[in-house]
């Protein structure tokens, strides 16, 4: 007796190594083809995640990403090449993925994932894979999954360390497993956890963690293996050690609606932060330097950023600025600078509110504006 298959002859040949696994076989491959997975972010984690989901034969994949490809992405975001710099990440990812597997349907959402559009974007997907790098979107993704009954496959990376878990998984007893808020009920204070741009990340780490994230998605779809529900997997690439921590549900936490996630995470819009402090343009700073004006220049970036390019200011990373308050002049102008003007504005805001400084000036546009308007030969990142 013969049975029909949802897989074409070309697909049967393509996925032959999957079909050869006794615990997997044609039934699991057909589940992959019917699956609908939404991936938030196509960068460090999203690149390997999307590549392996596409190669595995997930039939319907959505990509949410409004960013463009930057040269500094290429150290870890393996979906992209030098030729893609300046192009839309989501659209570029779609082209690359369809070239890898034309049997997959790719839908692009070239926009930020926000409380206004999250339900509409997520509506037609069963699993959401979180490849973002900010707490606002992580909490939003989690809450959307809880409110709509979708599984959230979570991962994060920083320097040498990675985290992975499966949230809101429907268990055999009909209960939902722990979600992100059971692990992290509250976000950390703003600025306490640097972004990858500020703190760095080992290039291979997102490849490792993103591949494991794809593995969890595939296990959930096919019901092959035990998903990482109720557990947090921790990986340290430097020491090559792993840990598994248990996560328990906190039934006191109730999610009833989407909220203002910027407010919840203590995030003030960048423009508002910059507008709160006095500023100096790069042209005016250049005049001060040429005239040998008496002022102090403080650079609040990280050491590795300073090593790439600098204006010979005093290096005081933002996370340690309060420890250096006694070294900041009070009897002359002090210019504070960073890469784009946001971290330096934050530093000034903290110093003014806690210690009453009134002589601090933010360098508008930071080192990027200097390279763009004063010294185009300066390397940037």
The CATH code of the domain that includes 308 is 3.40.250.10
pLDDT (average), residues 255-270: 83
- What is the pLDDT at residue 2? 35
Marked catalytic residue, from 145, 196, 265, 309: 196
Six token digits for residue 323:
């420890």
pLDDT in tens, 334-374: 999 999 998 899 899 889 989 999 999 999 999 999 999 99
Would you call 338 a catalytic residue per the annotation? Answer: yes
Count of residues making up the chain: 381
User: What is the average pLDDT value for the chain, to the nearest integer?
Assistant: 92
Confidence category of residue 270, pLDDT binned at 50, 70, 90? low
144 and 245 belong to one structural domain? yes
191 and 239 belong to one structural domain? yes
* CA 225 vs CA 21, 26, 33, 150, 222: distances in Å: 13, 16, 18, 19, 9
181 and 47 belong to one structural domain? yes
- The rounded percent of the chain whose pLDDT value lies above 90 is 81
Would you call 265 a catalytic residue per the annotation? Answer: no
pLDDT higher than 70, residue 313: yes
Helical spans, DSSP H, in the chain: 9-14, 16-19, 25-34, 46-56, 89-100, 118-122, 135-148, 180-183, 196-199, 205-222, 261-264, 270-275, 282-290, 303-308, 342-355, 366-373
pLDDT higher than 60, residue 4: no
Q: Is 97 exposed, middle or buried (0-12, 13-18, 19+ CB in 10 A)?
A: buried
Q: Which of 230, 264, 298 is the last residue of a domain?
A: 264
pLDDT in tens, 13-38: 999 999 999 999 999 999 999 999 99
Six token digits for residue 196:
């990858």
189 and 320 belong to one structural domain? no
Please state the pTM of the whole predicted model: 0.80
Give the domain range for residue 111. Answer: 35-264
Six token digits for residue 211:
């591949």
Q: Which of 264, 296, 312 is the last residue of a domain?
A: 264
- Domain total in the chain: 2
Cα angle, residue 370 at apex, residues 365 and 372 outer, rounded to 5° = 90
């Amino acid at each position: 007796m013969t049975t029909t298959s949802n897989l074409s002859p070309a697909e049967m040949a393509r996925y032959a190594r999957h079909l050869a696994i006794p615990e997997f076989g044609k039934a699991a491959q057909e589940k992959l083809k019917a699956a609908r997975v939404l991936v938030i972010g196509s960068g460090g984690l999203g690149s390997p995640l999307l590549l392996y989901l596409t190669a595995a034969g997930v039939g319907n994949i959505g990509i949410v990403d409004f960013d463009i490809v930057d040269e500094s992405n290429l150290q870890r975001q393996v979906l992209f090449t030098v030729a893609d710099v300046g192009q839309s990440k989501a659209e570029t990812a779609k082209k690359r993925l369809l070239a890898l597997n034309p049997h997959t349907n790719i839908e692009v959402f070239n926009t930020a994932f926000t409380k206004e559009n999250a339900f509409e974007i997520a509506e037609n997907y069963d699993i959401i894979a979180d490849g973002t790098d900010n707490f606002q979107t992580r909490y939003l993704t989690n809450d959307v999954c809880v409110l709509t009954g979708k599984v959230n496959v979570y991962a994060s990376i920083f320097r040498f360390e990675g985290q992975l878990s499966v949230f809101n998984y429907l268990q055999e007893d009909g209960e939902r497993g722990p979600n992100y808020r059971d692990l992290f009920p509250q976000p950390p204070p703003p600025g306490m956890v640097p972004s990858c741009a500020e703190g760095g990340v080992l290039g291979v780490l997102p490849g490792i963690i993103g591949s494991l994230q794809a593995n969890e998605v595939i296990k959930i779809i096919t019901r092959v293996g035990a998903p990482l529900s109720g557990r947090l997997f921790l990986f340290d690439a430097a020491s090559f050690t792993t840990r598994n921590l248990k996560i328990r549900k906190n039934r006191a936490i109730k999610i009833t609606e989407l909220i203002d996630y910027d407010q919840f995470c203590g995030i003030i819009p960048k423009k508002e932060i910059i507008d709160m402090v006095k500023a100096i343009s790069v042209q005016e700073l250049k005049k001060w330097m040429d005239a040998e004006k008496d002022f102090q220049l403080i650079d609040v970036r990280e050491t590795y950023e300073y090593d790439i390019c600098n204006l010979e200011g005093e290096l005081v990373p933002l996370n340690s600025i309060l420890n250096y308050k006694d070294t900041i002049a009070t009897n002359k102008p002090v210019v504070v600078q960073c890469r784009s003007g946001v971290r330096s504005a934050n530093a000034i805001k903290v110093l003014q509110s806690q210690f009453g400084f009134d002589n601090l000036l933010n360098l508008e546009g930071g080192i990027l504006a200097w390279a763009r308007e004063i010294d185009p030969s300066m390397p940037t990142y």
